[in-house]
């Protein structure tokens, strides 16, 4: 007999729904404001460069990176990576995302403690996100083998 604990849904379902909802809100806002041109006419890359330069961060490089909304600042290499939708576009969404990411570089330069803590956790989180699906699959496999025993 196959056994499944319904309490799993009590814990897993709210987290899944909340994550999905948050992801949809971000994508929806980006889609909406990607149709609005920024008054400055600057691309996301140019806006990020202006924010960085105005804070004396001439050493931070800006590079394009593949993926939709995969924008991030890497404090280890001092590189701000912007997705094609942000790097090339002069939309309000692109400029906003680029300025937000440049803000992380400013936090890094000022030694902002929460950013340092986040940076320290990145390797463990990356390992966990790689290991998580394997553990999940192993759990289902073991549950099938034991058949709820």
Supply the pLDDT for residue 4: 67
Give the range of the structural domain holding residue 50, as residue numbers without chain letter.
31-133
Q: Is residue 114 part of a domain?
A: yes
104 vs 1, which has greater pLDDT? 104
pLDDT by residue (tens digit) across 111-145? 999 999 988 998 888 888 888 888 878 887 887 78
Q: Is residue 39 part of a domain?
A: yes
Other Cβ atoms within 10 Å of 86 Cβ, number:
30
**Cα 12-18-19 angle, rounded to 5 deg:** 90
Q: How many domains does the chain have?
A: 1
3 vs 96, which has greater pLDDT? 96
* Across 10-19, 73-82, 104-113, least confident range: 10-19
Supply the pLDDT for residue 133: 81
Q: Is residue 138 part of a domain?
A: no
**Cα 48-50-56 angle, rounded to 5 deg:** 105
pLDDT by residue (tens digit) across 30-65? 999 999 999 999 999 999 999 999 999 999 999 999
Whether residue 81 contacts residue 70, with contact meaning beta carbons closer than 8 Å, is answered with yes
Q: Is residue 140 part of a domain?
A: no
Whether residue 108 contacts residue 115, with contact meaning beta carbons closer than 8 Å, is answered with yes
Q: Is residue 128 part of a domain?
A: yes
The catalytic residue positions are: 101
> How far, in Å, CA of 131 to CA of 86, rounded?
31
Q: Is residue 116 part of a domain?
A: yes
- Please give the share of the chain, as a percent, with pLDDT higher than 90: 67
Residue 1 has pLDDT above 80, yes or no: no
> How far, in Å, CA of 26 to CA of 22, rounded?
6
Average pLDDT, the chain: 91
Q: Is residue 70 part of a domain?
A: yes
Q: Is residue 1 part of a domain?
A: no
The strand pairing partners of 63, in sequence order, are 81
Supply the pLDDT for residue 3: 62
Sign of CA dihedral 110, 115, 117, 120: negative
């Amino acid at each position: 007999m196959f056994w499944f604990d319904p309490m799993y849904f009590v814990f897993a379902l709210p987290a899944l729904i909340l994550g999905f909802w948050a992801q949809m809100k971000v994508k929806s806002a980006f889609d909406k404001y990607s149709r609005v041109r920024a008054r400055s006419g600057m691309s996301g890359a140019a806006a990020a460069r202006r924010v960085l330069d105005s804070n004396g961060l001439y050493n931070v490089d800006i590079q394009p990176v593949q993926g939709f909304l995969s924008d991030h600042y890497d404090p280890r290499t001092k590189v701000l990576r912007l997705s094609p939708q942000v790097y090339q576009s002069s939309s309000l969404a692109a400029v906003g995302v680029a300025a937000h990411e440049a803000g992380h570089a400013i936090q890094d330069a000022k030694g902002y403690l929460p950013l340092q803590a986040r940076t320290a956790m990145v390797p463990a989180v990356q390992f966990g996100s790689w290991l998580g699906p394997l553990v999940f699959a192993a759990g289902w496999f073991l549950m099938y083998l034991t058949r709820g025993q």
